[in-house]
Amino acid sequence: MASLAPALEMRGMTKLFAGNTVLNGVSLSAAAGEVCALVGENGAGKSTLMKVLAGVHQPDAGEILLDGQTVRFHRPADALAHGVAMIYQELSLAPHLTVAENIFLGREPISFAPLGIVDRREMNKRAGRMLAGYGFKIDPRAPVSRLSAANRQLVEIARATLEAKRVLVMDEPTSSLTAHETEELFRLIRDLKARGLAIIYISHRLEELKRIADRLTILRDGQVVYAGVWGELSHAEIIRHMAGRELKEIFPARQTQKGAVRLRVEHLTRAGKFADVSFEARAGEVVGIAGLAGAGRTELVEAIFGAVPADSGEIHLDGARLNVRQPDRAVARGLGLLTEDRKRTGLCLNLPLARNLTLANLRALVRGWRLERRREREAAREYIERLHIRPPDPDKTVGRLSGGNQQKVLLARWLFAASQVFLLDEPTRGVDVAARIEIYRAINKLTEAGAAVVMVSSDLPELLGMADRILVMRRGRLVVELDARQTTQEEILRYAAVEEGAQAELEVAVQHFELTSHS
């Protein structure tokens, strides 16, 4: 069945959202039996490109060809009908159905055709055979809600292999898998290649890509900046293409004097999440917190902020005890939390930019009972200017801004609230490079003005570039404090991951951070 045309070809894909060009003439092709790696920074357009391919979004220009034939996908079902399947990053299984029911959803084996009765036994048998064949140890009769995140991911993969006749898109499929499960997945990918599928594999773990990729496409700011055979570029060159600049340009230099202790945390404990955490942050200082996913970093800052209070331990702000059960007290005392999940706990998406920006400090705009809206707009304009928020429109619905600009609005919220201690949880996740640099500059200005910053990040170069000290958390405990000028990514990872017999975990972690290691 070898044909001359590639199994999949996307030509000149262009997509605009609310006037922003998210994809600008992107072309991508993948031949049958090939793995095409797709990499790029967050916000580069990878997910949008794949959603266009899956029929979720309609392109504003460009065409999709399958085996040389132009196709148009108006909805996800059209893509599936053409054998184009996708494994989404966000899981999309029905939690109350069983594994087998999820895998066969919409194509259940039927016994007694006229009545359409689902042959449950046959379905379980086939699902079981399929999972075992892939090397996944999952009971087909188990309800999905009882599975671990990793096993859900595997079920999702199994389902997609049933749907994919020509093209399979995998978006960060290993993010929740262990090293062993990743091995099983790679074996499956080799099988799928042999079956003649074209696979598009999105990942930022270059070590992983090295083992399976045949081709490489790099996206930056909605454009293809490199397309070629895997192996032509070194890892460092790939990173440079993705970022569009050298790392030392990204982290601006800063001169600050360390002052008095602003935040002191003593023996903070929340059962099952973190235990006996003590540290302090001084005026003018950036304290980084590193750790693997699940180490308790987000839970720690949420406890300091009072969003999900700790069970025991003490928090002191500027020398006085802070007893928080809800964030309102923390906010009133000058604490600000830039949340990890800006859509869930950060923004009121359908409200205007200005209202999101001023929400934490309306007190400053009130005279008597009256909220002075003119002053609100002035304040919003001032921060739009300072952080270069685009578009510079205080009335713009905040949900229509790009991720980077949304993040700047949230940072501006705490600047406007005149916070003195900033808890930043993954401050640049899903943020493009230009916005990142502006956020870093804003952080530096804060510390120069005497604020204390606690920064949780999974981006090690970011921690090394921004923090003065780096605290490493492992399984809910603070294991070491490192001087950011002296330490290395390897050292941080050793502390973050190593525990007796946990070598495999370390390997995954190293792969995870490999991308960002430079030199």
Site of interaction with another protein (CB under 8 A): 17-18, 48, 51, 57, 305, 307, 326-328, 330-332, 337, 339, 344-351, 355, 359-360, 362-363, 366, 369-371, 373, 397, 399-400, 413, 417
CB of 342 to another protein, least distance (A): 9
Shortest Cβ distance from residue 18 to another protein (Å)? Answer: 5
Cβ proximity to another protein, 213 vs 398, nearer residue: 398
Q: Give least dist CB 496 to another protein, A.
A: 27
Structural element, H or E, at residue 85? strand 84-87
Least distance (Å) from another protein to the CB of residue 366? 6
Do the strands 274-282 and 261-270 form a parallel or antiparallel pair, or are they unpaired?
antiparallel
Angle at 268 between CA 262 and CA 270, to 5 degrees: 140
- CA torsion through residues 132, 109, 91, 208, sign: positive
Task: Give 371 or 449: the residue with its C-beta nearer to another protein.
Answer: 371
Using an 8 Å Cβ cutoff, are 262 and 431 in contact? Answer: no
Nearer to another protein by Cβ, of 36 and 421: the residue is: 421
CB of 144 to another protein, least distance (A): 25
Closer to another protein by CB, 191 or 341: give it.
341
Among 237, 239, 228, smallest CA distance to 205 is for: 239
Q: Minimum distance between the CB of residue 371 and another protein, rounded to whole angstroms?
A: 5
CA distance 406 to 413: 11
Answer whether 512's CB lies under 8 Å from 484's CB.
no
Instruction: Considering the complex, state which of residue 174 and residue 339 has its C-beta at the smaller distance from another protein.
Output: 339
Name residue 366's beta-bridge partners.
Answer: 371
Q: What tokens appear for 345 in the block?
A: 């706990």
To the nearest whole angstrom, how small is the minimum distance from the Cβ of residue 412 to another protein? 12
Asked whether the beta carbons of 268 and 310 are under 8 A apart, the reply is: yes
- Residue type (1 letter), 442: A
Kind and range of the H or E run holding 117: strand 117-118
- 172 or 184: CB nearest another protein: 172
Q: How far apart are CA 516 and CA 496, in angstroms?
A: 16
CA 109 – CA 125 distance, rounded (Å): 11
Instruction: Decide whether 294 or 430 has the Cβ nearer to another protein.
Output: 430
